[in-house]
Structure 1
Protein backbone atom coordinates (compact mmCIF):
# COMPACT_ATOMS: atom_id res chain seq x y z
CA UNK A 1 0.00 0.00 0.00
CA UNK A 2 1.54 3.32 -1.03
CA UNK A 3 1.44 6.48 1.00
CA UNK A 4 -1.35 7.97 -1.12
CA UNK A 5 -3.67 5.03 -0.41
CA UNK A 6 -2.81 5.12 3.29
CA UNK A 7 -3.61 8.84 3.43
CA UNK A 8 -6.95 8.30 1.64
CA UNK A 9 -7.92 5.49 4.01
CA UNK A 10 -6.97 7.57 7.05
CA UNK A 11 -8.94 10.51 5.70
CA UNK A 12 -11.98 8.30 5.10
CA UNK A 13 -11.77 6.92 8.64
CA UNK A 14 -11.50 10.41 10.09
CA UNK A 15 -14.44 11.57 7.99
CA UNK A 16 -16.49 8.62 9.19
CA UNK A 17 -15.71 9.45 12.82
CA UNK A 18 -16.59 13.10 12.19
CA UNK A 19 -19.96 12.16 10.68
CA UNK A 20 -20.64 9.70 13.49
CA UNK A 21 -19.65 12.25 16.13
CA UNK A 22 -21.83 14.93 14.56
CA UNK A 23 -24.76 12.52 14.40
CA UNK A 24 -24.35 11.57 18.05
CA UNK A 25 -24.16 15.22 19.12
CA UNK A 26 -27.26 16.05 17.07
CA UNK A 27 -29.19 13.11 18.49
CA UNK A 28 -28.10 13.94 22.05
CA UNK A 29 -29.09 17.59 21.61
CA UNK A 30 -32.49 16.63 20.20
CA UNK A 31 -33.13 14.18 23.03
CA UNK A 32 -31.95 16.65 25.68
CA UNK A 33 -34.02 19.48 24.17
CA UNK A 34 -37.10 17.27 24.14
CA UNK A 35 -36.51 16.23 27.76
CA UNK A 36 -35.99 19.84 28.87
CA UNK A 37 -39.16 20.94 27.10
CA UNK A 38 -41.10 18.07 28.69
CA UNK A 39 -39.76 18.94 32.16
CA UNK A 40 -40.65 22.61 31.65
CA UNK A 41 -44.14 21.67 30.53
CA UNK A 42 -44.68 19.42 33.54
CA UNK A 43 -43.40 22.13 35.91
CA UNK A 44 -45.73 24.71 34.35
CA UNK A 45 -48.66 22.31 34.54
CA UNK A 46 -47.98 21.68 38.23
CA UNK A 47 -47.95 25.43 38.85
CA UNK A 48 -51.19 25.94 36.94
CA UNK A 49 -52.94 23.10 38.73
CA UNK A 50 -51.82 24.47 42.09
CA UNK A 51 -53.93 27.51 41.25
CA UNK A 52 -56.65 25.84 39.19
CA UNK A 53 -57.12 22.27 40.52
CA UNK A 54 -57.07 19.64 37.79
CA UNK A 55 -60.40 18.20 38.97
CA UNK A 56 -62.09 21.55 38.31
CA UNK A 57 -61.29 21.53 34.57
CA UNK A 58 -61.19 19.03 31.72
CA UNK A 59 -59.08 20.87 29.13
CA UNK A 60 -55.33 21.24 28.63
CA UNK A 61 -54.58 24.75 29.90
CA UNK A 62 -51.16 24.82 28.28
CA UNK A 63 -52.75 24.33 24.86
CA UNK A 64 -55.69 26.65 25.52
CA UNK A 65 -53.55 29.79 25.62
CA UNK A 66 -53.40 33.29 24.15
CA UNK A 67 -51.04 36.24 24.36
CA UNK A 68 -52.45 39.67 25.16
CA UNK A 69 -50.87 43.05 24.65
CA UNK A 70 -52.03 45.34 27.44
CA UNK A 71 -49.10 47.41 28.69
CA UNK A 72 -51.29 50.28 29.85
CA UNK A 73 -53.47 47.93 31.90
CA UNK A 74 -50.97 45.35 33.11
CA UNK A 75 -47.67 47.20 32.95
CA UNK A 76 -45.92 44.76 30.59
CA UNK A 77 -45.74 44.44 26.79
CA UNK A 78 -47.07 40.90 26.48
CA UNK A 79 -48.87 38.64 28.92
CA UNK A 80 -49.58 34.94 28.42
CA UNK A 81 -53.06 33.80 29.44
CA UNK A 82 -53.90 30.16 30.14
CA UNK A 83 -57.61 29.26 30.12
CA UNK A 84 -59.29 26.57 32.20
CA UNK A 85 -62.64 25.11 31.11
CA UNK A 86 -64.94 22.28 32.04
CA UNK A 87 -67.43 20.89 29.54
CA UNK A 88 -66.65 23.90 27.35
CA UNK A 89 -67.63 26.31 30.12
CA UNK A 90 -65.07 28.82 31.46
CA UNK A 91 -63.63 28.10 34.89
CA UNK A 92 -60.58 30.34 35.33
CA UNK A 93 -57.76 32.17 33.61
CA UNK A 94 -54.15 32.25 34.75
CA UNK A 95 -52.10 35.22 33.64
CA UNK A 96 -48.34 34.92 33.45
CA UNK A 97 -47.64 38.54 34.17
CA UNK A 98 -44.76 40.70 35.34
CA UNK A 99 -44.37 43.21 38.15
CA UNK A 100 -41.98 45.70 36.51
CA UNK A 101 -41.19 47.70 39.65
CA UNK A 102 -39.97 45.22 42.23
CA UNK A 103 -37.25 46.51 44.57
CA UNK A 104 -34.46 44.68 42.71
CA UNK A 105 -36.08 44.29 39.31
CA UNK A 106 -39.04 42.65 37.57
CA UNK A 107 -40.96 39.90 39.36
CA UNK A 108 -42.80 37.24 37.36
CA UNK A 109 -46.19 36.12 38.65
CA UNK A 110 -48.89 33.60 37.91
CA UNK A 111 -52.25 35.12 38.82
CA UNK A 112 -55.32 32.86 38.68
CA UNK A 113 -58.71 34.53 38.38
CA UNK A 114 -61.83 32.39 38.56
CA UNK A 115 -64.76 33.10 36.27
CA UNK A 116 -66.66 34.61 39.21
CA UNK A 117 -63.91 37.21 39.66
CA UNK A 118 -62.27 35.73 42.75
CA UNK A 119 -58.60 34.89 42.93
CA UNK A 120 -57.63 31.24 42.72
CA UNK A 121 -54.24 32.29 43.99
CA UNK A 122 -50.97 34.02 43.14
CA UNK A 123 -47.50 32.55 42.79
CA UNK A 124 -44.12 34.19 42.27
CA UNK A 125 -42.28 32.17 39.63
CA UNK A 126 -39.09 34.25 39.45
CA UNK A 127 -37.57 37.30 41.11
CA UNK A 128 -34.26 39.02 41.79
CA UNK A 129 -35.02 40.22 45.29
CA UNK A 130 -32.31 40.04 47.92
CA UNK A 131 -32.13 37.11 50.37
CA UNK A 132 -34.50 37.71 53.24
CA UNK A 133 -36.80 39.93 51.21
CA UNK A 134 -37.07 37.31 48.49
CA UNK A 135 -37.86 34.64 51.07
CA UNK A 136 -41.17 36.37 51.79
CA UNK A 137 -42.22 35.78 48.18
CA UNK A 138 -41.59 32.04 48.15
CA UNK A 139 -44.38 29.78 49.36
CA UNK A 140 -41.84 27.30 50.72
CA UNK A 141 -40.55 29.96 53.13
CA UNK A 142 -43.55 32.20 53.83
CA UNK A 143 -47.33 32.12 53.61
CA UNK A 144 -47.58 35.79 52.57
CA UNK A 145 -48.47 34.93 48.97
CA UNK A 146 -51.48 32.95 50.21
CA UNK A 147 -53.07 36.18 51.48
CA UNK A 148 -54.45 36.71 47.98
CA UNK A 149 -56.44 33.46 47.95
CA UNK A 150 -60.15 34.08 47.46
CA UNK A 151 -59.78 37.86 47.26
CA UNK A 152 -61.65 39.90 44.64
CA UNK A 153 -62.32 43.52 43.69
CA UNK A 154 -65.08 43.49 46.30
CA UNK A 155 -63.19 41.63 49.01
CA UNK A 156 -61.49 43.79 50.07
CA UNK A 157 -63.12 46.91 48.59
CA UNK A 158 -61.12 48.46 45.76
CA UNK A 159 -59.80 51.31 47.92
CA UNK A 160 -58.37 48.78 50.35
CA UNK A 161 -56.22 47.07 47.72
CA UNK A 162 -52.91 48.15 49.16
CA UNK A 163 -50.43 47.37 51.91
CA UNK A 164 -51.35 48.38 55.46
CA UNK A 165 -48.90 51.28 55.43
CA UNK A 166 -50.95 52.77 52.59
CA UNK A 167 -54.28 52.12 54.31
CA UNK A 168 -54.85 48.74 52.67
CA UNK A 169 -55.35 45.27 54.11
CA UNK A 170 -52.23 43.43 52.92
CA UNK A 171 -49.17 43.04 55.12
CA UNK A 172 -45.94 44.70 54.08
CA UNK A 173 -42.61 43.11 54.91
CA UNK A 174 -40.65 44.19 57.95
CA UNK A 175 -38.46 47.05 56.81
CA UNK A 176 -39.58 46.71 53.20
CA UNK A 177 -42.66 48.07 51.46
CA UNK A 178 -41.69 48.54 47.81
CA UNK A 179 -41.96 44.91 46.73
CA UNK A 180 -45.23 43.92 48.47
CA UNK A 181 -46.79 47.23 47.38
CA UNK A 182 -45.82 46.52 43.77
CA UNK A 183 -47.18 42.96 43.86
CA UNK A 184 -50.48 44.00 45.44
CA UNK A 185 -50.97 46.67 42.79
CA UNK A 186 -50.06 44.21 40.00
CA UNK A 187 -52.63 41.69 41.24
CA UNK A 188 -55.24 44.44 41.51
CA UNK A 189 -54.50 45.53 37.92
CA UNK A 190 -54.83 41.92 36.79
CA UNK A 191 -58.25 41.60 38.43
CA UNK A 192 -59.40 44.83 36.79
CA UNK A 193 -58.11 43.72 33.41
CA UNK A 194 -59.84 40.34 33.63
CA UNK A 195 -63.07 42.02 34.73
CA UNK A 196 -62.98 44.44 31.80
CA UNK A 197 -61.96 41.83 29.19
CA UNK A 198 -63.70 38.73 30.52
CA UNK A 199 -65.49 37.67 27.34
CA UNK A 200 -62.52 38.36 25.09
CA UNK A 201 -60.13 36.42 27.29
CA UNK A 202 -62.28 33.31 26.96
CA UNK A 203 -62.62 33.60 23.19
CA UNK A 204 -61.98 30.22 21.57
CA UNK A 205 -59.46 31.61 19.07
CA UNK A 206 -55.97 30.60 20.19
CA UNK A 207 -54.19 33.52 18.50
CA UNK A 208 -56.27 36.59 19.27
CA UNK A 209 -54.53 39.60 20.72
CA UNK A 210 -56.30 42.09 22.94
CA UNK A 211 -55.30 45.71 23.44
CA UNK A 212 -55.98 47.70 26.56
Structure 2
Protein backbone atom coordinates (compact mmCIF):
# COMPACT_ATOMS: atom_id res chain seq x y z
CA UNK A 1 0.00 0.00 0.00
CA UNK A 2 2.85 2.38 0.80
CA UNK A 3 4.27 1.86 -2.67
CA UNK A 4 0.88 2.60 -4.21
CA UNK A 5 0.57 5.81 -2.19
CA UNK A 6 4.05 6.91 -3.22
CA UNK A 7 3.20 6.22 -6.84
CA UNK A 8 0.01 8.28 -6.57
CA UNK A 9 1.87 11.13 -4.90
CA UNK A 10 4.60 11.08 -7.57
CA UNK A 11 1.99 11.09 -10.34
CA UNK A 12 0.08 13.94 -8.69
CA UNK A 13 3.25 15.99 -8.32
CA UNK A 14 4.18 15.25 -11.91
CA UNK A 15 0.77 16.30 -13.19
CA UNK A 16 0.88 19.43 -11.06
CA UNK A 17 4.28 20.42 -12.41
CA UNK A 18 3.12 19.71 -15.96
CA UNK A 19 0.06 21.92 -15.44
CA UNK A 20 2.17 24.75 -14.04
CA UNK A 21 4.69 24.54 -16.87
CA UNK A 22 1.93 24.37 -19.50
CA UNK A 23 0.15 27.38 -18.01
CA UNK A 24 3.42 29.30 -17.96
CA UNK A 25 4.15 28.50 -21.59
CA UNK A 26 0.65 29.56 -22.63
CA UNK A 27 0.92 32.82 -20.67
CA UNK A 28 4.29 33.67 -22.20
CA UNK A 29 3.05 32.81 -25.69
CA UNK A 30 -0.02 35.00 -25.26
CA UNK A 31 2.09 37.89 -23.98
CA UNK A 32 4.56 37.63 -26.85
CA UNK A 33 1.75 37.30 -29.40
CA UNK A 34 -0.15 40.29 -27.97
CA UNK A 35 3.02 42.40 -28.06
CA UNK A 36 3.71 41.35 -31.65
CA UNK A 37 0.15 42.21 -32.73
CA UNK A 38 0.34 45.59 -31.00
CA UNK A 39 3.63 46.32 -32.75
CA UNK A 40 2.14 45.39 -36.12
CA UNK A 41 -0.78 47.73 -35.49
CA UNK A 42 1.60 50.58 -34.55
CA UNK A 43 3.59 50.02 -37.74
CA UNK A 44 0.41 49.95 -39.83
CA UNK A 45 -0.78 53.18 -38.22
CA UNK A 46 2.52 54.96 -38.83
CA UNK A 47 2.51 53.99 -42.50
CA UNK A 48 -1.15 54.95 -42.91
CA UNK A 49 -0.63 58.40 -41.41
CA UNK A 50 1.57 59.45 -44.31
CA UNK A 51 -0.78 57.87 -46.86
CA UNK A 52 -3.64 60.00 -45.55
CA UNK A 53 -1.61 63.23 -45.18
CA UNK A 54 1.61 62.96 -47.23
CA UNK A 55 4.75 64.65 -45.93
CA UNK A 56 4.63 67.40 -48.54
CA UNK A 57 1.29 68.56 -47.12
CA UNK A 58 2.63 69.32 -43.64
CA UNK A 59 5.89 70.53 -42.10
CA UNK A 60 5.51 69.41 -38.47
CA UNK A 61 6.41 66.10 -36.88
CA UNK A 62 3.14 64.29 -37.45
CA UNK A 63 4.10 61.33 -35.29
CA UNK A 64 4.59 63.43 -32.15
CA UNK A 65 2.11 66.30 -32.64
CA UNK A 66 -0.87 64.71 -30.93
CA UNK A 67 -3.92 65.55 -28.86
CA UNK A 68 -5.50 63.18 -26.36
CA UNK A 69 -9.14 62.29 -26.89
CA UNK A 70 -11.36 61.06 -24.06
CA UNK A 71 -13.45 57.92 -24.53
CA UNK A 72 -16.42 58.54 -26.81
CA UNK A 73 -18.89 55.98 -28.21
CA UNK A 74 -18.75 57.65 -31.63
CA UNK A 75 -15.08 56.76 -31.88
CA UNK A 76 -15.55 53.32 -30.35
CA UNK A 77 -12.75 53.93 -27.84
CA UNK A 78 -13.10 52.74 -24.25
CA UNK A 79 -9.94 54.52 -23.12
CA UNK A 80 -8.18 57.74 -24.12
CA UNK A 81 -6.51 57.74 -27.55
CA UNK A 82 -4.21 60.16 -29.35
CA UNK A 83 -5.17 61.90 -32.58
CA UNK A 84 -2.41 63.19 -34.86
CA UNK A 85 -2.44 66.82 -36.02
CA UNK A 86 -0.82 67.92 -39.28
CA UNK A 87 0.33 71.53 -39.58
CA UNK A 88 1.66 73.66 -42.40
CA UNK A 89 3.50 76.86 -41.44
CA UNK A 90 1.97 76.60 -37.99
CA UNK A 91 -1.62 76.30 -39.12
CA UNK A 92 -3.60 73.04 -38.92
CA UNK A 93 -3.75 71.16 -42.20
CA UNK A 94 -5.77 68.24 -40.89
CA UNK A 95 -6.20 65.72 -38.13
CA UNK A 96 -6.09 61.93 -38.17
CA UNK A 97 -8.37 60.25 -35.66
CA UNK A 98 -8.09 56.60 -34.59
CA UNK A 99 -11.50 54.95 -34.67
CA UNK A 100 -12.90 51.51 -33.89
CA UNK A 101 -15.88 50.30 -35.91
CA UNK A 102 -17.54 48.00 -33.39
CA UNK A 103 -20.11 46.39 -35.70
CA UNK A 104 -17.88 44.45 -38.07
CA UNK A 105 -18.91 40.95 -39.14
CA UNK A 106 -16.03 39.28 -37.28
CA UNK A 107 -15.33 41.85 -34.58
CA UNK A 108 -13.84 45.31 -34.24
CA UNK A 109 -12.31 47.10 -37.22
CA UNK A 110 -9.57 49.63 -36.44
CA UNK A 111 -9.49 52.69 -38.69
CA UNK A 112 -7.68 55.96 -39.14
CA UNK A 113 -9.86 58.80 -40.42
CA UNK A 114 -8.19 61.95 -41.73
CA UNK A 115 -10.24 65.17 -41.82
CA UNK A 116 -9.25 68.64 -43.04
CA UNK A 117 -10.16 71.87 -41.19
CA UNK A 118 -13.26 72.28 -43.38
CA UNK A 119 -14.62 68.91 -42.29
CA UNK A 120 -13.86 66.98 -45.48
CA UNK A 121 -12.40 63.49 -45.34
CA UNK A 122 -8.76 63.43 -46.41
CA UNK A 123 -8.60 59.66 -46.33
CA UNK A 124 -9.50 56.52 -44.42
CA UNK A 125 -7.31 53.49 -43.81
CA UNK A 126 -7.89 50.18 -42.07
CA UNK A 127 -5.11 49.19 -39.66
CA UNK A 128 -6.53 45.98 -38.14
CA UNK A 129 -9.51 43.69 -38.66
CA UNK A 130 -10.63 40.06 -38.71
CA UNK A 131 -13.12 40.22 -41.55
CA UNK A 132 -13.62 37.30 -43.94
CA UNK A 133 -10.81 36.90 -46.53
CA UNK A 134 -12.07 37.45 -50.05
CA UNK A 135 -15.20 39.22 -48.82
CA UNK A 136 -14.99 41.67 -45.94
CA UNK A 137 -11.26 42.22 -46.31
CA UNK A 138 -11.96 44.40 -49.36
CA UNK A 139 -11.94 47.30 -46.91
CA UNK A 140 -8.13 47.08 -47.19
CA UNK A 141 -6.64 49.33 -49.85
CA UNK A 142 -4.36 46.54 -51.05
CA UNK A 143 -7.43 44.41 -51.77
CA UNK A 144 -9.69 47.02 -53.40
CA UNK A 145 -10.08 50.78 -53.90
CA UNK A 146 -13.36 50.86 -51.96
CA UNK A 147 -11.88 52.72 -48.98
CA UNK A 148 -10.99 55.64 -51.29
CA UNK A 149 -14.70 56.35 -51.81
CA UNK A 150 -14.62 58.40 -48.59
CA UNK A 151 -12.12 60.93 -49.95
CA UNK A 152 -13.66 64.40 -50.15
CA UNK A 153 -16.83 63.37 -48.33
CA UNK A 154 -18.32 65.41 -45.50
CA UNK A 155 -21.44 65.53 -43.35
CA UNK A 156 -23.29 67.29 -46.17
CA UNK A 157 -21.81 65.20 -48.95
CA UNK A 158 -23.79 63.01 -49.06
CA UNK A 159 -26.77 64.03 -46.96
CA UNK A 160 -27.00 62.32 -43.59
CA UNK A 161 -29.60 59.71 -44.56
CA UNK A 162 -27.39 58.64 -47.48
CA UNK A 163 -24.38 57.93 -45.25
CA UNK A 164 -24.80 54.18 -45.60
CA UNK A 165 -24.46 51.44 -48.20
CA UNK A 166 -26.59 51.33 -51.35
CA UNK A 167 -28.64 48.41 -50.04
CA UNK A 168 -29.79 50.64 -47.17
CA UNK A 169 -30.57 53.59 -49.44
CA UNK A 170 -27.14 55.19 -49.26
CA UNK A 171 -24.40 56.00 -51.77
CA UNK A 172 -21.59 53.68 -50.71
CA UNK A 173 -21.08 50.34 -52.43
CA UNK A 174 -21.41 47.13 -50.47
CA UNK A 175 -19.45 43.98 -51.29
CA UNK A 176 -21.01 40.99 -52.95
CA UNK A 177 -21.78 38.56 -50.15
CA UNK A 178 -20.60 40.98 -47.46
CA UNK A 179 -22.74 43.95 -46.48
CA UNK A 180 -22.12 44.08 -42.73
CA UNK A 181 -18.46 45.03 -43.04
CA UNK A 182 -18.81 48.10 -45.30
CA UNK A 183 -21.92 49.16 -43.40
CA UNK A 184 -19.91 49.20 -40.17
CA UNK A 185 -17.08 51.21 -41.72
CA UNK A 186 -19.41 53.78 -43.30
CA UNK A 187 -21.17 54.28 -39.96
CA UNK A 188 -17.86 54.69 -38.13
CA UNK A 189 -16.60 57.31 -40.61
CA UNK A 190 -19.84 59.29 -40.37
CA UNK A 191 -19.72 59.19 -36.57
CA UNK A 192 -16.13 60.43 -36.71
CA UNK A 193 -17.26 63.41 -38.77
CA UNK A 194 -19.94 64.07 -36.15
CA UNK A 195 -17.24 63.97 -33.47
CA UNK A 196 -14.99 66.34 -35.45
CA UNK A 197 -17.84 68.83 -35.85
CA UNK A 198 -18.45 68.86 -32.10
CA UNK A 199 -14.76 68.93 -31.05
CA UNK A 200 -13.05 70.93 -33.78
CA UNK A 201 -11.39 73.38 -31.42
CA UNK A 202 -10.03 70.57 -29.23
CA UNK A 203 -8.63 68.82 -32.30
CA UNK A 204 -7.22 71.79 -34.21
CA UNK A 205 -6.81 74.50 -31.59
CA UNK A 206 -7.75 78.16 -31.84
CA UNK A 207 -6.35 78.65 -35.36
CA UNK A 208 -9.50 77.34 -37.09
User: Into which bin does the TM-score normalised by the smaller protein fall?
Assistant: 0.7 to 0.9
1:189 maps onto 2:188 in alignment: no
Alpha-carbon offset, residue 202 of structure 1: 2.1
Unaligned stretches of 5+ residues in structure 2: 1-38
User: 2 CA distance for matches of 1:167 and 1:84?
Assistant: 35
1:115 maps onto 2:124 in alignment: no
Matched positions, count: 169
Mark the structure with the bigger radius of gyration: 1
Which TM-score applies when normalising by structure 1?
0.73
Match of residue 5 from structure 1: none
Match of residue 52 from structure 1: 53
- 1:40/1:187 Cα in 2 relative to 1: closer, same or farther (>3 Å)? closer
Unaligned stretches of 5+ residues in structure 1: 1-36, 205-212
Match of residue 140 from structure 2: 138
Match of residue 16 from structure 1: none
User: 1 CA distance for matches of 2:41 and 2:145?
Assistant: 25
Match of residue 64 from structure 1: 65
- 1:47/1:178 Cα in 2 relative to 1: closer, same or farther (>3 Å)? same
Deviation per CA, 1:153-204: give whole Å up to 9, x if none. 1111112101111110001111221111110000000011011100111249
Match of residue 204 from structure 2: 202
Q: Is contact 1:76-1:100 (8 Å) kept?
A: no
User: 2 CA distance for matches of 1:101 and 1:197?
Assistant: 24
Which TM-score applies when normalising by structure 2?
0.74
